[in-house]
Amino acid sequence: MSGKIQSKMFVEPGTILDILKKEVDNGFNHLVTVTAVDLKESIELIYHLSDLKGNIKHVSTRIPRDKPEIATVTTLIPGADFYEREITDLFGISFYGKQTTTGRFILPECYPPGSPPPLLKNVDSNQVKDTLAKQETCEFKATTLHAPLSPESVVVPVGPYHPAFKEPEYFSLVTDGERIVKAFLRIGFVHRGIEKAAETRSYLRDIFLLERVCGICSASHSWCFVEAVEKLLGVEPPSRATYLRTIVAELERIHSHSLWLGLVGYWIGFESMFMWVWGIREEIMNLMEEISGNRVHKSFVTIGGVRRDVSDSLLRKIQERTKEFGKQFENLLDTLVSSEEVIERTKGIGKYDIEVARKFCTVGPVRRAAGELFDVRKLEPYGAYTEVDFEVPTEEEGDVYSLIKIRVKEVLESINIIHQLIEKMPSGNPVPSRYFMGTVPEGEAYGRIEAPRGELFYYVKANNTHNPYRVKIRTPTLANIQLVANILEGYSISDFPVIVTSIDPCFSCMDRVTVINSSTGEKTVLPVKLLKEKRRR
């Protein structure tokens, strides 16, 4: 379960690689993430490591602010690459010894090179916004090869806006004919500075802010943050509240997996599957609206409990409707596993093995599709998961077809969990007598839960004030997206949308747009505000 960080292993910066190698050899071979914290006189880096038994270690080192550099650990853990590049952009720390390409990762290219990184404590977020607003253009630089692999190789740009994406993203695909021989990825188009914003709001207001990280698994984000804050406060929510949180989390899992299955059907040309799944998914959305009052951002979880109770009559309704939903989904499972169209377009596509999955620190269904039972609900149980019996499906093949089978089975298992929780629902009041508005004592804690896309991690540092000193978020997509860029190689361009969608990526929304003058070819990136002004004219 999530917990207060009582102890950290402090090491010298020069020994970080050797120390991590010892921990990896001891079984702590999953790098959850790397957290940077500006301590004003130095910058602390915390490497959060986990094993397959639910144990977690925090290895800390401090580097001077005036010389922010440290050796990369990607030679030991390749999956650390995106975590380090994120820190480079947001804290200005240089990781020497990296083999991968450099350049902007999260920040836009127009962020002035001489400006301090935005997550340092002395940087005012309003100044950052003003600085970016003054930039006339903010065209991004695509990462690709410096020279063609062969005279026949061609670079195919995909994105940031493309029909193959439900959200903005950019890939440079180096192709030889129809075959992808190399893929480069540029992310950050939807970065909204939520971690910085969280430092300026109270803990209660942060719950509403952080659930907006994702419109699909919003309750997972608020729950994960609240878990960490409750550990810092020493608060134990009522049993009924933990049961209700777990029910909402499993409804969210059903909603998320159903949405994903519909999208996969769309990309493989099985549009009736898309409409079928999204049609029955409405029942789950309606239930969440009846529970919380909202279909998307539920605002259900709060510090010390939940914001509203759920009546016994509504619980029975949830039981009946999910039972009916399960019957329809079982029919879907029969269709999926026997459909030649689905099998032909997904079996053996986007294939990887468990070693590759571990190498890139993947999480959730992506990890389980390669055969490893990696599920925080089992590894480090939280909520009411210790009160129910459930299975975590795994597959061995590690391809898109395996991911479909796993997610369909997980939907049925979520229904099983919900029914057990309703039968065992304890009595009592799950709503706090008053919402938490106080200060949080100095300390550090982490939240770690199994969101629909996989392990979600929050780090919270408190300093005895009303606002958190630091909030770090590691979403499942950042852990899984590195895998995609590597497994694309060797597949055809037509497989590209299916493989990218297979990890269920979430990039949220963005507020930039590129305008191209067709006569001159000039490109200009406009903020939404300016775009609206132009439309009014």
- Name the region of 321 (left: φ>0; alpha: ψ -120 to 50; beta: rest): alpha
* Residues that constitute the known binding site for Fe cation: 217, 509
Cα R_g (the chain), whole angstroms: 23
Token pair listed for 116? 């301090």
| CA dist., res. 43 & res. 354, Å (int) | 34
Which residues make up each annotated binding site? 195, 214, 217, 473, 506, 509
* Cβ neighbours for 221, distance < 8 A, ≥ 6 positions apart: 210, 211, 213, 214, 451, 456, 458, 473
Summarize the annotated binding site for Ni(2+) as residue ranges.
214, 217, 506
Angle among Cα 196, 202, 208 to the nearest 5 degrees reads 80
Identify which of 533, 536, 530 has the alpha carbon closest to the alpha carbon of residue 136: 530
Q: Which residue type, as a one-letter code, is found at position 153?
A: S
User: Measuring CA to CA, how many Å separate 121 from each of 41, 196, 288, 462?
Assistant: 11, 9, 39, 14
Strand blocks (E) in 76-151 = 94-96
Name the residue type at position 360: F
Binding region for Mg(2+): 195, 473
* Alpha carbon of residue 293 to chain centroid: 25
* 3-class SS shares of the chain: helix, strand, coil, % to 5: 40, 20, 40
